[in-house]
C-alpha cells in the first residue's frame, strides 16, 4: 500500500484541546486582513476579461484546517465577488438574464488526515446553499491538487511556514547540519539554518508553481502568514522562545526516561519562518504572477502580553500532530503539563523579544 506523505493536522474535533477552540490567534490575523482582502478583490479582479467568462466562480482555500477561520475567509471572498459581480453586470446582461445569479464552487484543501468531517458537519448556511457547492480536496498543496486553469481565487493563511518535511540533514547525526540541541531553526546562520532555508525555498517554489497551473489567467492568489524581518532570528521572537522551551521539556522527559534522548535529538519541527527577502525572491522567481500587494500587517495581538494558558493551548492544538508523528502517542499530556509549569517558572518577557512579522500578499496570474 502506498504511504501518505508526512502530515501534521491541527488537533481535531471540538474538545478543549481542538484547533477549533484554540485558533483565535490565527482568527485575529485573518480578521485583520478582511478589509484589505475585500479591497484587493474589488480593485484587482477583472470580470470583463479573464478570469471569468462562465457562470461558475471557483474559490479554493489551501490548508484550510476546519472551523470558523476558513468559513470566514471563504465567506468574505464570496460576498465580495457577488457584490462586485452585481455592480458590474452590464446593462445587456441585466436585460438578458435578470434573475441569473453567480454560482460558486468552493474547494477546501488540506492534508488527508485533516478533520474534514468536522469541517463539513459545521458548514455555515452561506456555504451550503444551492448556489454554493462545497468540496473537500485532501492532498498536499506542495503539488497539484486541482485541475489546470480552474480556480479564480485561491487563498491560504497561516500555512506556508509548514514545510513538506523537516530537512533530512538536520536530524542526521553524521551531517554537519545536525541540529542536535534544538527542535527548530533557531538562528540565521549555520548549516542547520541553511538546510531549513533550502527546504523552504524548494517547498515554496513548488507551492507557487502548482497554484500557477491551477489558477486561471488573471486569477488571484491571496496569501497571509508569518515571516521574520531580515535581521531577526526565530529564537529572538516570543514564538521561538516558546518552541525552545517545548524542546527543553522534551529533553527533560528524556532524562526522566519517558522518551529517549536520541528521539529528541533527531526531532526537528518542519516549520520555518522565512525572512521577507527570501519570501519575495521565491515568488518573483516563478515568473507566472505579478505581485499586486506585498505588505506587512500588524497582528492585532502583537503588543499584548499573552497569558500562559493561552500559549499552552495554542501550541498544543498546533503541535499535537507533529509530536505524535515522531514520538508516538501518549506523551502529549505530560509534555504540555511540563511546558505549563516551565512557563510559570520562566514567563516569556514579551518586551525583550524581537517581533516576528505578518504578511499579506496578493498575486495576479499573468495572462500570457
| Site residues for ligand SAH per CB under 6 A | 9-10, 23, 26, 30, 63-65, 69-70, 109-111, 114, 140-142, 157-159, 162, 164
H/E stretch holding 188 reads none
- Shortest separation between residue 33's beta carbon and ligand SAH, angstroms: 11
Q: Which is nearer to ligand SAH, 36 or 89 (CB)?
A: 36
Helices (H), the chain: 24-32, 34-44, 68-88, 91-96, 116-121, 191-214, 238-255, 261-265, 276-286, 308-327, 332-345
Q: What crossing angle do the helices spanning 332-345 and 308-327 adopt, rounded to 10°?
A: 140
Q: Which is nearer to ligand SAH, 25 or 52 (CB)?
A: 25
CA–CA dist 22, 311 (Å, integer): 10
Q: Which is nearer to ligand SAH, 70 or 259 (CB)?
A: 70
- Shortest separation between residue 367's beta carbon and ligand SAH, angstroms: 27
- Shortest separation between residue 87's beta carbon and ligand SAH, angstroms: 29
Interacting residues of 10 by C-beta distance below 8 A, sequence separation 6+: 18, 19, 23, 65, 66, 114, 115, 317, 318, 320, 321
Q: Which is nearer to ligand SAH, 162 or 327 (CB)?
A: 162
Among candidate residues 112, 111, 117, 165, the one with its CA nearest the CA of residue 12: 117
Among candidate residues 360, 367, 357, 336, the one with its CA nearest the CA of residue 38: 360
- Shortest separation between residue 116's beta carbon and ligand SAH, angstroms: 11
Map grid coordinates 475567509 to a residue: 73
β-pairing, 357-365 with 289-297? antiparallel
- Shortest separation between residue 2's beta carbon and ligand SAH, angstroms: 17
CA–CA dist 80, 40 (Å, integer): 10
- Shortest separation between residue 154's beta carbon and ligand SAH, angstroms: 12
Among candidate residues 357, 164, 183, the one with its CA nearest the CA of residue 277: 357
Q: Which is nearer to ligand SAH, 28 or 332 (CB)?
A: 28
- Shortest separation between residue 198's beta carbon and ligand SAH, angstroms: 17
- Shortest separation between residue 127's beta carbon and ligand SAH, angstroms: 15
Residue in the shown chain whose Cβ atom is closest to ligand SAH: 63
Q: Which is nearer to ligand SAH, 80 or 111 (CB)?
A: 111
Q: Which is nearer to ligand SAH, 20 or 363 (CB)?
A: 20
CA–CA dist 109, 154 (Å, integer): 11
CA–CA dist 84, 52 (Å, integer): 12
Take residue 6 and report the three cell numbers written for it. 508526512
Q: Which is nearer to ligand SAH, 35 or 93 (CB)?
A: 35
Amino acid at each position: 500500500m502506498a504511504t501518505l506523505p508526512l502530515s501534521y493536522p491541527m488537533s481535531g474535533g471540538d474538545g478543549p484541546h481542538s484547533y477549533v477552540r484554540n485558533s483565535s490567534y490565527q482568527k485575529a490575523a485573518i480578521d485583520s486582513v478582511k478589509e484589505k482582502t475585500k479591497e484587493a478583490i474589488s480593485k484587482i479582479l477583472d470580470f470583463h476579461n479573464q478570469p471569468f467568462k462562465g457562470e461558475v466562480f471557483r474559490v479554493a482555500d489551501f490548508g484550510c484546517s476546519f472551523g470558523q477561520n476558513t468559513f470566514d475567509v471563504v465567506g468574505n471572498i464570496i460576498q465580495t465577488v457577488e457584490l462586485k459581480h452585481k455592480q458590474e453586470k452590464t446593462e445587456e446582461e441585466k436585460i438578458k438574464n435578470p434573475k441569473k445569479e453567480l454560482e460558486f464552487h468552493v474547494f477546501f484543501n488540506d492534508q488527508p488526515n485533516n478533520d474534514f468531517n468536522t469541517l463539513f458537519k459545521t458548514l455555515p448556511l452561506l456555504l451550503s446553499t444551492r448556489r454554493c457547492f462545497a468540496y473537500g480536496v485532501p492532498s498536499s498543496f506542495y503539488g497539484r491538487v486541482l485541475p489546470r486553469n480552474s480556480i479564480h481565487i485561491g487563498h491560504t493563511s497561516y500555512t506556508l511556514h509548514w514545510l513538506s518535511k523537516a530537512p533530512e540533514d538536520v536530524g542526521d547525526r553524521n551531517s554537519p547540519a545536525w541540529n542536535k540541541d534544538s527542535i527548530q531553526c533557531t538562528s540565521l546562520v549555520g548549516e542547520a539554518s541553511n538546510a531549513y532555508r533550502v527546504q523552504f525555498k524548494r517547498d515554496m517554489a513548488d507551492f507557487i508553481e502548482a497554484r500557477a497551473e491551477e489558477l486561471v489567467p488573471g486569477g488571484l492568489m491571496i496569501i497571509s502568514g508569518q515571516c521574520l524581518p531580515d535581521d531577526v532570528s526565530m529564537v529572538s521572537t516570543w514564538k521561538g522562545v516558546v518552541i525552545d522551551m517545548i524542546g527543553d521539556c522534551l529533553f527533560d522527559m528524556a532524562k526522566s526516561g519517558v522518551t529517549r534522548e536520541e528521539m529528541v535529538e533527531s526531532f526537528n519541527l518542519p516549520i520555518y519562518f522565512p525572512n521577507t527577502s527570501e519570501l519575495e525572491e521565491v515568488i518573483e522567481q516563478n515568473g507566472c504572477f505579478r505581485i499586486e500587494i506585498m505588505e506587512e500587517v500588524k497582528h492585532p495581538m502583537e503588543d499584548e502580553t499573552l497569558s500562559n494558558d493561552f500559549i499552552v493551548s495554542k501550541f498544543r492544538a498546533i503541535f499535537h500532530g507533529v509530536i505524535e508523528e515522531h514520538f508516538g502517542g501518549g506523551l502529549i499530556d505530560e509534555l504540555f503539563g511540563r511546558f505549563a509549569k516551565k512557563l510559570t517558572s520562566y514567563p516569556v518577557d514579551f518586551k525583550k523579544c524581537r517581533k516576528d512579522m505578518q504578511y499579506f500578499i496578493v498575486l495576479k496570474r499573468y495572462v500570457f
